Every structure is written in structure tokens, then in C-alpha cells.
Structure 1
Amino acid sequence: MIGGHLRRTALILSPWLAIVGLWYAVHYSGLINPALVPPPHAVAARFAELSSGRLPMDVLMSTRRVLTGVALGIALAVPAGFVLGWYRPVRVFVDPLVNFFRALPPIALIPLVIVHFGVDELAKTVILFYAAFFAGVIVMYEGIAQISPIYLRVARTLGANDREIFLKVVVPMTVPHMLTALRVALGVAWATLVASELIAAQRGLGALIQDAASFFQLDIIYVGIISIGFIALAMDLVLRRVARRLLVWQERMA
């Protein structure tokens, strides 16, 4: 038992230790100017320094913006995904539009967002909402469209009407897709965060990175990037654990 835990811990830590080792190797190799690649211990020292300064507030502001944008995006993506997945004519009509807007990078929309929504929190939320919605709606309607018709035929054979089929067959079978849509939307929102905080943000991890870039403070840039990555990773791990608990019935069916 202890040996199994040790092996699991080693497997989890190995890639991170490899990255740190590679990071040190690049810094000391001379292939790249060492000033352009601050060593991990320097970044860790800067992280400790910022942790007693502006970093907690930056993390809080960015997390709040991401969660707000994702919550609004998924709240609309789920019903929209149901409609697109359940009604094929609607999907055929709307699918090109969804894919067109999904392909537009949120950063390209910043000038229009500023014109229509100003430079306050609403503008940042709109950018994150846009990214989260189109990431989530694709996952939702593709998942619903792939539900095997055999489940619907069996339910209808047993006397279920359309409402019962939707509530007792379709909805439970789309829970995994809802959770996947939420995970994808969160990842896309964190990836879009820096772009959203280009809009006159005074606080936030994106603002921290941009302020550091203005003064060529590369260690702070690394702190901001690594913070975004670890927060996004932590949220994804929480969602995966929640998904395992909610989808126990699927394992029993399998």
C-alpha cells in the first residue's frame, strides 16, 4: 500500500521536477541569455515577495472575472446546446454561425467591446463570456447529437412521452457533456484572461503580467503565467473529482 502511494506520488511529481530541471539547464546552458530566463529559485523568491503584496488581490480579481464569465457563458451554452443538439434543423441552420464566431479570437474583439461596453468590469466579463459560451456550446450540442437513438426508442416503447424522454433519458445522459463543457469553458476562459485584462485593468494576473512586461521584469511575468496555470489546473482537478462522484451511475451501467 505504501509502495503504491510512493509510486503514485513519484509519477505525479516527476514531470514537474523534469520541467524545473530543464528550466535550470536552459538558464545555465549559455544557449540563451540568462537574463531572459530567470532561474526557478529567483521566480520562487519573487512569488514569495508578491504573495505579501499585490498577488493575492490579483488572483482574487482574475478568479472572480473568470468565474463570472464562465458562469454566464455556461448558463446560456447549456440550453442553447440542448436546442441545437435536440433539433437537427436548428443545428443545420445555426452550426455555421456558431463555428464562425467560435473561430474569432476574443482579443480581436477588444476594440468593439470597448466601443460598446466601455473599459469597466462589464467589458472584461463580455470577453470571457464570449470565450466560455462558444467553447461550451460546441461540446454540449455535439454530445447531445451523439446520444444513441436506441435509448430513445426503448423509452418510447416503454410508454414514455417526449417530456419524459427528455427529462429522464436525455438530460441524465448529457450530464457528462455539461461537466466537460464547463471544464473546457474554464480552460478557455483562463487562456483568454490576459486578453480580457488588456481592457484598462488595474488588478488581475493579466494586469500583473502586462505591468511587468512594461518594465521588463521577467521574473514577475513568470510568476503571473505560473499562477494562471496552477489555478486553472486546481479548478480542473476539482471538476474532475466532482464529475467522478456525479457519474458513478455510468460506471455501474458499464
Structure 2
Amino acid sequence: MSVLTSPPRPRPRRANGPGAEPGPRRRGLWRALALRAGAIVALVAIWQAVAMAGIWPPVFVPEPVAVWDQFLRTTVEGVSGYTLQEHLLTSLRRILLGCLYGVTGGIALGLLIGMVPTLRALLGPLVTFVRTLPPLAYLSLLVIWFGIDEEPKIWLLLLAALPPVAVATADAVRGVHEDYLNAARSLGARRHELPLRVVLPSALPEIITGVRVAVGVAYTTVVAAETVNGVPGIGGMVRDAQRYNQTDVVVLGIIVIGLSGLLIDFLLQTLDRRLVPWRGRT
């Protein structure tokens, strides 16, 4: 007597691991990377075509190969007395210090402005005034006050980074729902505990956005900060190259600034996803 048995069911493929089918998210990631790579290749091809057409002399539009050769040369032999790595690391150190001071001060100032109406009336216009000023407007004053060493550069980057963070923090704090504060009070939270335990976590998504804006502003300001005794530094390297019509070095400096800025923004986005995983889901 034979026993009827049903055929074995196929095992479903796992979402991850060997044999997994690529999900929509992974396909979208590869598609985005392919589009970005294609855009870069197209841009370099257009650049090469314009340079080969001879519309402008090489001193105005150098070929990509010339910029690449200058990259290899500056990483080994250096330019303006320092290698490209030393210029970049010095600029990044200045940006790190300036943004660290600016972001810390901006968060503290934003909390005060957002939570204390009197301070909002007193300090709000001052923060807006500083935020609307271009960095070169007060660079000369900082040089008079602090000399031509590192202090005016750090102060300039601090003043560039602080206002965006302060404004973003103040607006985020004012947008915290009153129910959160009432719930914390009903659970026994004291008044001095509310800013750090309730207000700051609720305002964190907007604060991180302000930090991203502040870092971008500080990075665009570093070239202005390094126009005064900025060697070593990317801005100082570009300034010296401009004086001697070394366009390939100028273009190299612009590319290095842009790529390092993209890397910094990527790290900030990664930090945003780690600290604020609920963004866009609530």
C-alpha cells in the first residue's frame, strides 16, 4: 500500500544572505551610483572636449590630464612648501575646531533663545545680523584683533557656523509640542531637566539639519579665512597658485574642496540616520 505524499514545498529565498534576490532598495542604490558615475564621466568628457577645442588657452581651461598630473606631483613634491595632504589636513583641522566651537555655542544659544522670550528679544536680532554678514566683512577686523596666525581663522569659521545652528535650534525648540513638556512634568521631571531630557531630543532632527548647513557655510568660508597667512591650507594653496597663473593647481584645489565637502556631508547624513532613526517615519 503506497502512501500519498505531497511534493516538498520550495523554500522561500531569504531577503538577505546567499541566494537572496536583490531588493528594490539595493537596486535603487546601484542605480543611483551608476547615475552619479555617469554624470561624472560626462562632465569630464565635456571638460576634455572644451580643452581640446582650444576655445580658451590652457592657462584658462587646463586639460583633465594636466590636473591629474598636478595631483600626483603635489602629493609627492608638494606646492607652496607643503604636500596636498598637509594642505587638506590643516584646512580640515581649522574647520573641525571652528565648527566644534560654533555648533556647541549655537546649540546653547538656540536653546536659550527658544525657551526664554526675553533673551529671544535681546539676542535674536544680533544672531540674524551676524548671519547675514558675508565672512569677508569682518575678516579684516578679526585680523586686527587677533593677528594673522590661527586665531582669526578659527574665529571666522566659528562666526560662520554659529548663526545657522542657533537659528535652527531656536526654531526647533519653539516648535516642541507643549504636551511633551506637560507629560514630562506629570512624570516628575523638574524644570531644569526639561531642556536636556525633553526639548533637546525633540528638536534634534532640525538641529542636525542646522549643523549640516553650518558645516557647509564654514567650508565655503575656509578659503576666505586662509587668504591671510593661510599656508598650509587649501585656501592658501589656491591663493598662491592664482598669483602665478597655475590654473591646474587652482582647479585641483577646487576639486579637493568639493570632494572632501561631499565626504563630510555624507558622514553628517550617516550621523543623522544614527541619531534620528525616526525621521520621516512619524
Q: Tell me the TM-score normalised to structure 2 length.
A: 0.82
Q: Distance in 2 between matches of 1:89 and 1:18?
A: 55
The aligned counterpart of 1:75 is 104
Could you tell me whether the CA contact under 8 Å between 2:130 and 2:159 is conserved in 1? no
Q: Which residue among 66, 81, 84 is the counterpart of 1:55?
A: 84
Structure 2 unaligned blocks of 5 or more? 1-21
Q: Which residue among 133, 140, 144 is the counterpart of 1:115?
A: 144
SS at match of 2:217: helix
Structure 1 residues 144-197: Cα deviation after superposition (integer angstroms, max 9, x where no partner):
222233433444455544334333321211222332222122111110001101
Distance 1:50 1:134, change over 3 A: same
Report whether the alignment pairs 1:146 with 2:170: no
Query: How does 1:76-115 map onto structure 2 within 5 Å?
Result: 76-115=105-144
Q: Which residue among 162, 173, 176 is the counterpart of 2:205?
A: 176
Computed over aligned residues only, the root mean square deviation of the Cα atoms, in angstroms, reads 2.2
Could you tell me whether the CA contact under 8 Å between 1:69 and 1:125 is conserved in 2? yes
Could you tell me whether the CA contact under 8 Å between 1:68 and 1:125 is conserved in 2? yes
Query: How does 1:199-210 map onto structure 2 within 5 Å?
Result: 199-210=228-239
Q: Tell me the TM-score normalised to structure 1 length.
A: 0.90
The aligned counterpart of 1:13 is 37
The AA in structure 2 aligned to 1:14 is: G
Q: Distance in 1 between matches of 2:161 and 2:196?
A: 25
The aligned counterpart of 1:189 is 218
The aligned counterpart of 2:65 is 41
SS at match of 1:36: coil
Q: Which residue among 199, 203, 211 is the counterpart of 2:240?
A: 211
Q: Distance in 2 between matches of 1:149 and 1:11?
A: 45
| Percent identity (aligned) | 35
Structure 1 residues 11-70: Cα deviation after superposition (integer angstroms, max 9, x where no partner):
232332232233223323454444411122221121111111310110111111110111
Q: Distance in 1 between matches of 2:64 and 2:114?
A: 47
Q: Distance in 1 between matches of 2:195 and 2:106?
A: 17
The answer to which of 129-138 and 161-170 deviates more is 161-170
The answer to which of 99-108 and 189-198 deviates more is 99-108
Q: How many residues align?
A: 253
Report whether the alignment pairs 1:23 with 2:47: yes
Could you tell me whether the CA contact under 8 Å between 1:28 and 1:34 is conserved in 2? no
Structure 1 residues 190-230: Cα deviation after superposition (integer angstroms, max 9, x where no partner):
10001101121221000100010010000000111111111
Which structure's residues are more often helix, by fraction?
A: 1
The AA in structure 1 aligned to 2:240 is: D
SS at match of 2:229: coil
Could you tell me whether the CA contact under 8 Å between 1:110 and 1:199 is conserved in 2? no
Q: Distance in 1 between matches of 2:228 and 2:59?
A: 29
Larger radius of gyration: 2
The AA in structure 1 aligned to 2:69 is: A
Report whether the alignment pairs 1:231 with 2:260: yes
Q: Distance in 2 between matches of 1:240 and 1:81?
A: 22
Distance 1:16 1:83, change over 3 A: same
Structure 1 residues 117-144: Cα deviation after superposition (integer angstroms, max 9, x where no partner):
0001111111111111122212221222
Q: Distance in 1 between matches of 2:30 and 2:225?
A: 41
SS at match of 1:147: coil
Distance 1:155 1:62, change over 3 A: same
Q: Distance in 1 between matches of 2:262 and 2:30?
A: 22
The AA in structure 1 aligned to 2:37 is: L
Q: Distance in 2 between matches of 1:105 and 1:69?
A: 16
